[in-house]
């Protein structure tokens, strides 16, 4: 493998990993506080892609590529993020909050039910035909010493990096971020210290859902929008969260990037057929569960009996 080819695969892997990381953050934040997996997360991504598609098409109209189309795309992204944040809070309030004291299986089944409701509702309202989200800019590839980079890849890397840094700073430095960390450690103690746990949990769902909407719009530029688009990408993002250490924000970021690189180089180096690329993620899941089930950045939790 030549140097140019190596950096080409590296760029492709980082781009894919950035998407995985954005979506994995939603899984890991919810698990960190409620200790359950929100398997409807991928379908929230799908809803965000649909909302972004309709808002962008409505704002853009027939305008040619230019400043307005670029601005329209980001306006559509903000609307999609806000809408999915509200959707995430509503789902938490209706489907998960009444089951907080139930066994762990109950909210898991509820999440699967919500997933089916969202995907089938989208199919009923918008049909099963896929829709194209047009590029808001000229996506002509740029050749840099043999490494081909598209403006879309640059957009993914910039947006992913900015959002991950912003989330990390919010959780580490803000008052609400400290409340989220305290709630993650012990909800009862956090309540005794005056923290509004219900508000923290709602905010967690809002942030995770907004990040999923962003990921949905970014991948929709390359892949069309359809009711089941969030299923596979959501499962892979879950693998990324487990790989980094579910419940650990930094781990989810690293796990997403690493999974993207493993998929890209797995196809390039080991000759895995593109059609079997998805097996890489689930192979990684099996290995990490066997070797280090707490994940790369996770900690072993000891339970007193």
Sort residue 240 into left (φ over 0), alpha (ψ -120 to 50) or beta: alpha
pLDDT higher than threshold 70 for residue 231: yes
Helical H segments across the chain, by residue range = 3-34, 41-60, 67-91, 105-126, 151-173, 175-185, 187-192, 197-220, 229-244, 249-269, 278-291
List Cβ neighbours of 156 (8 Å cut-off, separation of 6 or more). Answer: 15, 18, 19, 218
Report d(CA 45, CA 22) in Å as an integer: 11
In this prediction, residue 15 carries a pLDDT of 92
Phi, psi of 257 (to 5 degrees): -60, -45
248-276 pLDDT, tens digit each = 888 889 999 999 998 888 887 777 777 77
In this prediction, residue 303 carries a pLDDT of 52
Report d(CA 114, CA 122) in Å as an integer: 12
Q: What is the pTM of this model?
A: 0.90
pLDDT higher than threshold 60 for residue 167: yes
106-131 pLDDT, tens digit each = 888 999 999 999 999 999 999 889 99
pLDDT higher than threshold 60 for residue 88: yes
Average pLDDT across the chain, whole number = 88
Q: Which residue do the tokens 């089951």 mark? A: 99
List Cβ neighbours of 86 (8 Å cut-off, separation of 6 or more). Answer: 206
pLDDT higher than threshold 90 for residue 86: yes
């Amino acid at each position: 493998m030549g140097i140019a080819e190596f950096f080409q695969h590296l760029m492709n892997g980082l781009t894919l990993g950035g998407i995985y990381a954005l979506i994995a953050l939603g899984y890991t934040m919810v698990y960190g506080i409620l200790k359950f997996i929100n398997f409807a997360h991928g379908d929230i991504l799908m809803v965000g892609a649909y909302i972004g598609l309709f808002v962008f098409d409505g704002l853009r109209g027939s305008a040619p590529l230019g400043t307005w189309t670029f601005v329209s795309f980001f306006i559509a992204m903000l609307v999609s993020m806000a809408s999915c944040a509200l959707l995430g809070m509503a789902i938490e309030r209706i489907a998960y909050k009444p089951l907080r004291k139930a066994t762990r299986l109950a909210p898991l089944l509820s999440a699967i039910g919500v997933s089916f409701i969202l995907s089938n509702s989208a199919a009923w309202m918008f049909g099963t035909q896929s829709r194209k989200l047009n590029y808001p800019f000229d996506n002509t590839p740029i050749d840099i010493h043999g490494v081909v980079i598209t403006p879309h890849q640059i957009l993914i890397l910039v947006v992913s990096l900015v959002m991950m840094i912003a989330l990390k700073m919010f959780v580490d430095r803000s008052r609400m971020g400290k409340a989220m960390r305290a709630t993650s450690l012990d909800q009862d103690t956090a309540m005794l210290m005056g923290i509004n746990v219900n508000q923290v949990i709602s905010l967690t769902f809002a942030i995770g859902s907004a990040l999923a909407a962003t990921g949905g719009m970014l991948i929709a530029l390359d892949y069309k929008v359809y009711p089941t688009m969030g299923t596979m990408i959501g499962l892979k993002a879950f693998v990324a969260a487990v790989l980094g250490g579910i419940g650990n924000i930094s781990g989810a970021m690293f796990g997403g990037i690493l999974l993207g690189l493993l998929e890209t180089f797995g196809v390039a180096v080991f000759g895995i057929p593109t059609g079997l690329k998805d097996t890489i993620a689930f192979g990684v899941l099996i290995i990490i569960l066997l070797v280090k089930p707490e994940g790369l950045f996770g900690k072993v939790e000891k339970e007193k009996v």
